[in-house]
């Protein structure tokens, strides 16, 4: 029997309903030039966002800057009081998808694109805060969010903790994947499940380094993490190379200690990348930059025994206009690092301008082989002798203490920052030459630090120079022959508009960075992307070197042919505009 044909009106109604569902849920045609933005035909409908929300276990939120509660039309005074009280806490900000620790990248660069806590009469503007965030709680939810972004041709950003120095964790009209809830920690005393033959630890993408250190102290291990407690252990820090302060000299960079990554690719696949599986992607993730090759959801890294250590701090202050301050005092502090590096002891150096206009500096040396009070006396004697003996205390303040653990010196919280960064490598050839500390000190004097600006060093050399890990990561080959990383921190008033912030970036690129590279004029121009100039010219060669970059770009095109993951001054970003919204040219 032939079934009855339904009336045409019924057919049309059904077709209309099916079309509406299709338009709401089906992939949109990819615009080859620009990402979809609100108002574009391909921007997801409200029903599409609602469907995504349900697919994410209702963990999708529409974002507003955290200060929006202090402005109309919300104007919620109790909520505003909480934000005002907590906004300076870095730890609090890590858990706020509508905020960053580095507030420089919260505002847009137009004339009125801020949402300030202090200027209530002013309107609150979205700036560079994403419009939506997926607060993912599992790798499967990451897959769902990635697929949605790809299907709807959205500008996607990945936010770990918001420390990012190049603005890659935010952007106008973007869709954010917030990884802060992926906070599992699993210690493997006998090695990881990949049988690496050594203790290891697996950490979720949302784990803070401070929390990982605390877990390590309870279980007797430490990792090569950074020295800021609120940096993510498995985010852009480790994917960008992971310079771990004084620990790198002994155990190498963070990427040198990675066993494997679990990552969601641009195709929405959850895969494991290690030396045996997807080795090309594993190589790229070990220094190729965060937010570029996929969403890392878990990292397994080597762990080392935690123990006591002795820390010796040397401080000095003086007139930055005096040549002797540089040739004697600063050279002496750098000379302590040089001398003790030769004995296997690492340290860090800091230099900053005080509000009073003077310069202050300190060197902190970490004696990992000294674990008791006797070691305190030994270290103090060594440092004093290097500074000239019994007269050293007349010029320098020396303090030597016993640390309960290698990680106990990391601050529990880091305040909000509004900063730009720049960095350069110092070669072994310069630093370990007889006149190296003096030459480096005198060249530092030419940088011209302003109030709130400072220099700091991270000790390379040692294991960082080991040829095996250097050949297994995409970092610039010059890391294998460098003694120090010198980083520059430039503070910018967070209440200023886009024009002031743009001038600060121009000054960094065109005035300060040439002076930074002049610290070691005989070396190649090489920088550390995690502490790099967000407008670095020729970043491809500066961060990775031409050969490594060519290989990184091939891997990028293989795993992400549509550039779903674009990060400022990251692999493939030269194909896109400043915000990664439209293709260049």
Q: Mind listing the pLDDT tens digit for each residue in 191-219?
A: 655 557 789 999 999 999 999 999 999 99
pLDDT bracket for residue 355 (50, 70, 90): confident
Report strand pairing: 200-204 vs 60-62: unpaired
Q: Note the pLDDT of residue 270.
A: 99
Higher model confidence: residue 310 or residue 13?
310
Residues of the chain with CATH 3.40.462.20: 309-537
Which residues touch 585 (CB under 8 Å, ≥6 apart)? none
Which residues touch 225 (CB under 8 Å, ≥6 apart)? 209, 212, 213, 231, 233, 237, 242, 244, 247, 254, 407
Helix-, strand-, coil-residue percentages of the chain, each rounded to 5: 35, 20, 45
Residue 106: other Cβ atoms inside 10 A: 26
pLDDT bracket for residue 494 (50, 70, 90): low
| pLDDT of residue 113 exceeding 50 | yes
Report domain 45-178's class: alpha beta
- CA–CA separation, 479 and 170 (whole Å): 29
- The token duo for 559 is 């795993």
| pLDDT of residue 520 exceeding 60 | yes
- CA–CA separation, 532 and 525 (whole Å): 12
pTM flag (> 0.85): yes
Higher model confidence: residue 190 or residue 29?
190
Which residues touch 371 (CB under 8 Å, ≥6 apart)? 307, 308, 309, 310, 402
- CA–CA separation, 100 and 159 (whole Å): 9
- CA–CA separation, 542 and 131 (whole Å): 33
- The token duo for 457 is 């060093």
- Helices 331-341 and 436-444 sit at what angle, rounded to 10 degrees? 140
416 in Cβ contact with 106 (< 8 Å): no
Lowest mean pLDDT among 32-46, 268-282, 409-423: 409-423
Q: How far is residue 136 from each of residues 45, 153, 186, 243, measured CA to CA in Å? A: 21, 20, 19, 28
Phi (first) and psi of residue 358, to 5 degrees? -85, 165
pLDDT bracket for residue 528 (50, 70, 90): very high
**DSSP conformation class of 33:** S
Written as one string, the DSSP assignment of 377-440 is: HHHHHHHHHHTTGGGHHHH-EEEEEEESSTTTTSBS--B-B-EEEEEEEEEHHHHTSTTHHHHH
Percent of the chain with pLDDT over 90: 80
456 in Cβ contact with 470 (< 8 Å): no
- CA–CA separation, 508 and 527 (whole Å): 14
320 in Cβ contact with 353 (< 8 Å): yes
**Mind listing the pLDDT tens digit for each residue in 5-45?**
334 333 334 333 434 444 444 444 445 699 999 999 999 99
Residues of the chain with CATH 3.30.465.10: 185-306+544-575
- CA–CA separation, 242 and 257 (whole Å): 10
375 in Cβ contact with 367 (< 8 Å): yes
Residues of the chain with CATH 3.30.43.10: 45-178
**Mind listing the pLDDT tens digit for each residue in 226-260?**
888 999 999 999 999 999 989 999 999 999 999 99
User: What is the number of residues in the chain?
Assistant: 585
User: Would you call 237 helix, strand, or coil by DSSP?
Assistant: helix
Average pLDDT of the chain to the nearest whole number: 91
Which H/E stretch holds residue 490? strand 482-491
Cα 351 from chain centre: 22
Higher model confidence: residue 135 or residue 28?
135
216 in Cβ contact with 407 (< 8 Å): yes
| Mean pLDDT in residue range 331-348 | 96
Which residues touch 74 (CB under 8 Å, ≥6 apart)? 64, 68
| pLDDT of residue 470 exceeding 80 | no
- CA–CA separation, 180 and 97 (whole Å): 9
Percent of the chain with pLDDT over 70: 92
258 in Cβ contact with 237 (< 8 Å): no
- The token duo for 322 is 């005096």
User: Would you call 457 helix, strand, or coil by DSSP?
Assistant: strand
**DSSP conformation class of 41:** T
β-bridge mates for residue 323, sequence order:
none
Q: Note the pLDDT of residue 453.
A: 92
Q: Which CATH architecture has domain 309-537?
A: 3-Layer(aba) Sandwich (3.40)
| Mean pLDDT in residue range 377-394 | 91
Phi (first) and psi of residue 85, to 5 degrees? -70, -35
Residue 251: other Cβ atoms inside 10 A: 20
Right CATH for 185-306+544-575 from 3.10.129.10, 1.10.3720.10, 3.90.1150.200, 3.30.465.10: 3.30.465.10
109 in Cβ contact with 500 (< 8 Å): no
- The token duo for 283 is 């190589």
Q: Specify the residue for token string 């990945």.
A: 158
423 in Cβ contact with 485 (< 8 Å): yes
- CA–CA separation, 543 and 526 (whole Å): 6
- CA–CA separation, 393 and 387 (whole Å): 9
């Amino acid at each position: 029997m032939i079934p009855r044909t339904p009336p045409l009106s019924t057919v049309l109604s059904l077709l209309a309903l099916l079309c509406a569902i299709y338009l709401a849920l089906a992939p949109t045609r990819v615009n080859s030039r620009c990402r979809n933005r609100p108002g574009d035909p391909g921007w997801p409908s409200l029903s599409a966002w609602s469907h995504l929300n349900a697919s994410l276990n209702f963990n999708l939120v529409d974002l507003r800057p955290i200060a929006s509660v202090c402005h109309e039309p919300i104007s919620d005074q109790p909520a505003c009081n909480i934000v005002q009280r907590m906004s300076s806490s870095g730890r609090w900000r890590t858990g706020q998808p509508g905020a960053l620790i580095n507030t420089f990248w919260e505002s847009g660069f137009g004339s009125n694109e801020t949402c300030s806590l202090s200027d209530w009469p002013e309107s609150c503007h979205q700036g560079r805060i994403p419009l939506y965030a997926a607060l993912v709680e599992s790798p499967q939810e990451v897959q769902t969010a990635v697929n949605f972004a790809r299907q709807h041709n959205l500008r996607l950003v990945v936010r770990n903790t918001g420390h990012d120095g190049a603005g890659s964790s935010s952007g106008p009209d973007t869709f954010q994947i917030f990884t802060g809830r992926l906070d599992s920690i699993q210690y493997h005393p006998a090695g990881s499940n990949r049988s690496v033959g050594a203790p290891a630890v697996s950490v979720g993408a949302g784990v803070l380094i401070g929390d990982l250190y605390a877990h390590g102290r309870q279980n007797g291990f430490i990792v090569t993490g950074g020295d800021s407690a609120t940096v993510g252990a498995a985010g852009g820090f480790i994917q960008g190379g992971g310079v771990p302060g004084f620990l790198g000299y002994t155990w190498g960079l963070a990427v040198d200690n990675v066993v494997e990554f679990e990552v969601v690719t641009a195709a929405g696949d959850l895969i494991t990348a290690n030396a045996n599986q997807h080795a090309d992607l594993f190589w790229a993730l070990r220094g190729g930059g965060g937010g570029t090759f996929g969403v890392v959801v878990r990292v397994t890294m080597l762990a080392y025994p935690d123990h006591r250590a002795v820390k010796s701090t040397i401080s000095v202050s003086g007139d930055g206009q005096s040549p002797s301050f540089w040739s004697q005092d600063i050279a002496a502090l750098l000379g302590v690092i040089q001398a003790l590096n030769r004995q296997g002891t690492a340290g860090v150096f800091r230099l900053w301008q005080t509000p009073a206009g003077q310069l202050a500096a300190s060197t902190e040396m970490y004696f990992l082989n000294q674990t008791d009070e006797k070691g305190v006396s030994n270290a103090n004697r060594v440092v004093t002798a290097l500074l000239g003996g019994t007269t050293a205390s007349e010029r320098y303040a020396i303090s030597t203490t016993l640390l309960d653990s290698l990680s106990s010196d990391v601050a529990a919280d880091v305040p909000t920052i509004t900063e730009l960064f720049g960095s350069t490598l110092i070669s072994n050839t310069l630093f370990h030459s007889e006149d190296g500390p003096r030459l480096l000190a005198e060249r530092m004097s030419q940088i011209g630090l302003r109030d709130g600006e400072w220099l700091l060093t991270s000790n390379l050399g040692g294991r960082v120079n080991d040829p095996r890990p250097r050949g297994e990561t995409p970092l610039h080959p010059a890391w294998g022959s460098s003694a120090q990383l010198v980083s520059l921190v430039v503070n910018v008033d967070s209440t200023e508009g886009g024009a002031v912030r743009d001038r600060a970036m121009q000054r960094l690129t065109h005035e300060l960075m040439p002076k930074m590279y002049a610290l070691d004029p005989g070396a190649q121009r090489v920088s550390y992307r995690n502490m790099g100039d967000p407008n670095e010219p020729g970043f491809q060669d500066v961060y990775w070197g031409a050969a490594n970059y060519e290989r990184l770009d091939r891997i990028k095109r293989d795993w992400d042919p549509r550039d779903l993951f674009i990060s400022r001054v990251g692999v493939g970003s030269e194909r896109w505009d400043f915000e990664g919204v439209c293709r260049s040219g």
